[in-house]
Amino acid sequence: MEIKKYGSEKMSKNEGVIYRISGPVVTATGIEARMYEVVRVGNEKLMGEVIEIHGDQSVIQVYEDTSGIRPGEPVLSTGQTLSVQLGPGLLTQIYDGIQRPLQTLEEVMGVFITRGVDADGLDLEKKWDFVATASKGDDVLGGQVIGTVQETDTITHKIMVPPKASGKIKSIKSGDFNVTETVCTLEDGTEIKMMQEWPVRHPRPFSQKYAPDTPLVTGMRILDFLFPLAKGGAAGIPGPFGSGKTVTQQSLAKYSDAQLVVYIGCGERGNEMTEVLDEFPHLIDPNTGKPLMNRTVMIANTSNMPVAAREASVYTGITIAEYFRDQGYDVALMADSTSRWAEAMREISSRLEEMPGEEGYPAYLSSRLAEFYERAGRVETLNGEDGSVTVIGAVSPPGGDISEPVSQGTLRIVKVFWGLDAGLARQRHFPAINWLSSYSLYPQSLNQWFRDNIASDFPEVRTQISALLKVEAELQEIVQLVGSDALPMDQQLTLEVARMIREYFLQQNGFDPIDAYSGVQQQYAMAQAILTFQEEAKKAMAAGARLQDVVNVQSRTELMRARFAEGYLDKIGGLVEAMVAEIAATAEAN
């Protein structure tokens, strides 16, 4: 196959031979490669990356299956590091871990992924309507926007001067261009095209990092209300198998108010990616009213695809996320699952016979995790705009026990921990996020936003709700010993209120066409409804009502059920009023 992507221009014509092959790790002699340089391995020119150098030997991780390759076959260095192609055409795509479009692979290879095929990340032929926004004579710096392309109906792709270039514009023209044609020339002769390449293992530059102050609204009540994540923040979702990591991640990809989503299926199931592909084009983004696919880029390197490409997949994803951040967008990146990424590192590391750290993971595991999550953030872009990358990483701890290295390494860095709980999943309490062990360190910095945009007492209401849940946990311990009837009435009421929080507020079926998304305004109204119930029940019981009657009022059931129908926010007020009246009546009846 001809080498297209890692082009001939910079090829250093440096050729060596294979000395050893052990699974995805190949050792070559006779090339003078640099670390992380892309090389071509064997007669089939499989793509690989230099990950270690010992004297004359270069150790290479290969992104494709190495069966059938022999010592003595050639190895070619390319002079380039592992990079992605950035420009119009990224959106709606689904790539493998090294940015080969899966659709192109299907066209070339059929339904099974074979090897030795290169494919460009971007369509190099397609013409885009470039609208220049800078003019001849303008002084431009790296990262500055010089024009736009309407890539999908929701996303305007901004064309930027590559980060390292700058100068005075000699010429610039609007019109139809493909991504490799020059749209702008600088005085010093630099030609700017719509496509840039960027090495995936290097964070893209920005002017400065800001402290996050805006929540990433997810539409999931337990997340937004109790454990909010900031735009530009990082969250970890650990949980055993079947507890809801993927459903949560997919919910976030669907409903969160990020402008762009990069979804990385890293070492997980093929069918889950198919599901996203089937569903997203038909789902409407609640924030824009347009198909979700228009704001989505997917990376799918499933569990049975080569591990080295799995290792690369998170870098490919986050580089694409940063590129859109640099255009001033709020980007959310989901990585499902970071544990599979860590395992890929472990597999490669053990082939290198490196000294293992904890549980066989390489000693650099925690620093790699930290470097990855550090690429999240809210920044001032080189163009002076505000942009952010929010990272949400699923973690799959063996046996569900988070004392293991990947969970611990993640928790040391992220500020939000959404802990999934097998027990809750088994009770079909979804999302199975444990409200006692989960936490967010952002409320302080986000409270102002909630006060300004939702309600002035939002943080206080949140505190009341979480306090009720804590009290419930303590009471439950007593109930386990003596049964609930033995508790005093006011505590029995507390249990009922807490049950209402769990069943009405925290539970939210990710597949319910309506309840799967709940706006923050509605979340607040629901929390208030619960507190109103508590207050009115107390009053009625003080006036002689029986707890049982108060709890069983029909209007409360209606209030709770109505959330499954359209337009709930508008109805809540009336439903609460009806409930208040009916509860008051229970006291009179006695």
Partner 1 sequence: MTSKEYKTITDIKGPLVFLEKTEPVAYGEIVSIRLSDGSEKNGQVLDTSDDMVVVQVFEGTEAIDRKAGVKFLGDVFKLPVSKGLIGRILDGAGRPRDGGPEIIADENADIIGAAINPYSRQSPHDFIQTGVSAIDCCTTLVRGQKLPIFSASGLPHNDIALQIARQAKLRDSDEEFIVVFCAMGITAEEYNFFRSDLERTGALENAALFVNLADDPAVERLITPRLALTAAEYLAFEHDYHVLVIYTDMTNYCDSLRQIGAAREEVPGRRGYPGYMYTDLAMLYERAGIVKGKKGSITQFPILTMPGDDITHPIPDLSGYITEGQIVISRELHQAGIYPPINVLPSLSRLMGSCIGEKTTRDDHKKVSDQMYAAYAQGRELRGLVAIVGEDALNERDLQLLKFADIFEDKFLRQDRDEDRTIDETLNLCWELMTNIDTKYLVRLDQELIEKYHPEEKKA
Gyration radius of the chain over CA positions: 27
For 22, 158, 221, 261, 426, the CA distances from 148, given in Å and listed in that order, are 47, 4, 37, 20, 50
Distance CA 37, CA 81 (A): 4
Compute how many residues bind Mg ion; rule: CB under 5 A.
Answer: 2
Distance CA 291, CA 94 (A): 16
CB 209 within 8 A of CB 245: no
Distance CA 519, CA 517 (A): 7
User: What are residue 267's phi and psi, to 5 degrees?
Assistant: 70, 30
Longest Cα–Cα distance in the chain: 94
Considering the complex, state which of residue 206 and residue 430 has its C-beta at the smaller distance from ligand ATP.
430
| From candidates 7, 384, 399, 573, binder to partner 1 by CB under 8 A | 399
Indicate which of Mg ion, ligand ATP, partner 1, none lies near residue 427 (CB less than 5 to 8 Å, by partner kind): partner 1
Counting Cα atoms < 13 Å in the Cβ hemisphere of 87 gives 29
Indicate which of ligand ATP, Mg ion, partner 1, none lies near residue 481 (CB less than 5 to 8 Å, by partner kind): partner 1
Q: Which of residues 47-66 bind partner 1 (CB under 8 A)?
A: 65-66
Considering the complex, state which of residue 193 and residue 429 has its C-beta at the smaller distance from partner 1.
429
Token reading at 11? 């090829």
* Residues lying near ligand ATP in the complex (CB under 6 A): 239, 241-247, 268, 396, 425, 430-431, 509-511
CB 389 within 8 A of CB 322: yes
Indicate which of ligand ATP, Mg ion, partner 1, none lies near residue 437 (CB less than 5 to 8 Å, by partner kind): none
Compute how many residues bind partner 1; rule: CB under 8 A.
Answer: 67
Using the contact rule CB under 8 A, the part of the chain among 174-182, 225-233, 312-320, 339-347 near partner 1 is: 339-347
Q: C-beta of 264: minimal distance to partner 1 in Å? A: 12
Distance CA 25, CA 41 (A): 11
Considering the complex, state which of residue 237 and residue 497 has its C-beta at the smaller distance from Mg ion.
237
Indicate which of partner 1, ligand ATP, Mg ion, none lies near residue 244 (CB less than 5 to 8 Å, by partner kind): ligand ATP
Q: C-beta of 316: minimal distance to ligand ATP in Å? A: 21
Give one DSSP letter per residue of 507-541, joined into a string. ---TT-TTTT---HHHHHHHHHHHHHHHHHHHHHH
Nearest one of 160, 87, 177, 183 to 125, comparing CA atoms: 177
Considering the complex, state which of residue 382 and residue 425 has its C-beta at the smaller distance from Mg ion.
425
Q: C-beta of 370: minimal distance to Mg ion in Å? A: 24
Q: C-beta of 335: minimal distance to Mg ion in Å? A: 12
- The pairing of strands 234-238 and 416-417 is parallel
Q: x/- site string to partner 1, residues 287 to 326, per CB under 8 A?
A: -------------x-xxxx-x-------------------
Residue number closest to Mg ion, CB atom: 246
Q: Which of residues 363-392 bind partner 1 (CB under 8 A)?
A: none
Considering the complex, state which of residue 271 and residue 480 has its C-beta at the smaller distance from ligand ATP.
271
User: In degrees, to the nearest 5, what angle opens at C-alpha 131 toward C-alphas 324 and 281?
Assistant: 50
Q: C-beta of 401: minimal distance to partner 1 in Å? A: 7
Considering the complex, state which of residue 24 and residue 239 has its C-beta at the smaller distance from ligand ATP.
239
Q: Which of residues 173-202 bind partner 1 (CB under 8 A)?
A: none
Considering the complex, state which of residue 70 and residue 428 has its C-beta at the smaller distance from ligand ATP.
428
Indicate which of Mg ion, partner 1, ligand ATP, none lies near residue 509 (CB less than 5 to 8 Å, by partner kind): ligand ATP
Indicate which of Mg ion, partner 1, ligand ATP, none lies near residue 403 (CB less than 5 to 8 Å, by partner kind): none
HEC string of 166-185 equals CEEEEEECCEEECCCCEEEE
Q: C-beta of 428: minimal distance to partner 1 in Å? A: 7
Return the DSSP state at 420: B
Distance CA 561, CA 512 (A): 13
Indicate which of Mg ion, ligand ATP, partner 1, none lies near residue 359 (CB less than 5 to 8 Å, by partner kind): partner 1
Indicate which of ligand ATP, partner 1, Mg ion, none lies near residue 423 (CB less than 5 to 8 Å, by partner kind): none
Phi/psi-derived region of residue 122, left when phi > 0, alpha when psi is between -120 and 50, beta in every other case:
beta
Considering the complex, state which of residue 403 and residue 480 has its C-beta at the smaller distance from ligand ATP.
403
Using the contact rule CB under 5 A, the part of the chain among 39-47, 146-154, 238-246, 427-435 near Mg ion is: 238-246
**19 lies in the site for partner 1, by CB under 8 A:** yes
Q: C-beta of 156: minimal distance to ligand ATP in Å? A: 33
**21 lies in the site for partner 1, by CB under 8 A:** yes
Give one DSSP letter per residue of 64-111, joined into a string. S--TT--TT-EEEEEEEESEEEESTT-TT-EE-TTS-BHHHHHHHH-S
* Measured torsion, CA atoms of residues 578, 581, 584, 588, in degrees rounded to the nearest 10: -120
Distance CA 381, CA 384 (A): 5
Q: C-beta of 243: minimal distance to ligand ATP in Å? A: 4
**347 lies in the site for partner 1, by CB under 8 A:** yes
**246 lies in the site for Mg ion, by CB under 5 A:** yes
Considering the complex, state which of residue 425 and residue 537 has its C-beta at the smaller distance from ligand ATP.
425
For the chain, the first-to-last Cα distance in angstroms comes to: 86
Please list the residues that pair with 235 across neighbouring strands.
392, 416
Indicate which of partner 1, ligand ATP, Mg ion, none lies near residue 111 (CB less than 5 to 8 Å, by partner kind): partner 1
Distance CA 105, CA 271 (A): 17
Distance CA 243, CA 422 (A): 6
Token reading at 343? 């395992």
Distance CA 261, CA 335 (A): 11
Site residues (CB under 5 A) for Mg ion?
A: 245-246
Site residues (CB under 8 A) for partner 1?
A: 19-23, 27, 65-73, 94, 102-103, 105-106, 109-114, 240-242, 265, 267, 269-271, 273-275, 277-278, 300, 302-305, 307, 340, 343, 346-347, 350, 356, 359-360, 396, 398-401, 426-428, 480-483, 485, 511
